[in-house]
Amino acid sequence: MRMSNEVYDVLKIVALLIVPLCAFITSVAGALGYDASVLVAILTAFDTFLGTILKISSDNYQKEITNE
């Protein structure tokens, strides 16, 4: 998988900052008595997916650099 630096940077920000922030918000909602389990499951799955994509992209980029 190959992506531009801009796409990689945006996805990295989403994976490292925005999705965990959403998980924090849903945890607080759960503490306040709202059922947030479905939302937490979806956000966790999405964050795992983004982490996988970013790792694959980073590995491919590193291979390109070492081959040049």
- Closest Cα to residue 11, out of 42, 62, 41, 56? 56
Per-residue pLDDT, 17:
83
Per-residue pLDDT, 1:
62
Per-residue pLDDT, 60:
87
What is the C-alpha to C-alpha distance for residues 40 and 3, in angstroms, rounded to an integer?
A: 28
- What are 4-55's pLDDT values in tens digits? 888 888 888 888 887 788 888 888 888 899 888 888 788 888 888 988 998 8
| pTM passes above 0.75 | no
Domain ranges across the chain: 5-63
For residue 41, give every residue at least 6 positions away whose Cβ sits within 8 Å of its Cβ, in sequence order, or none.
none
State the angle between helix axes of 37-67 and 5-13 in degrees (0 to 180), rounded to the nearest 10: 150
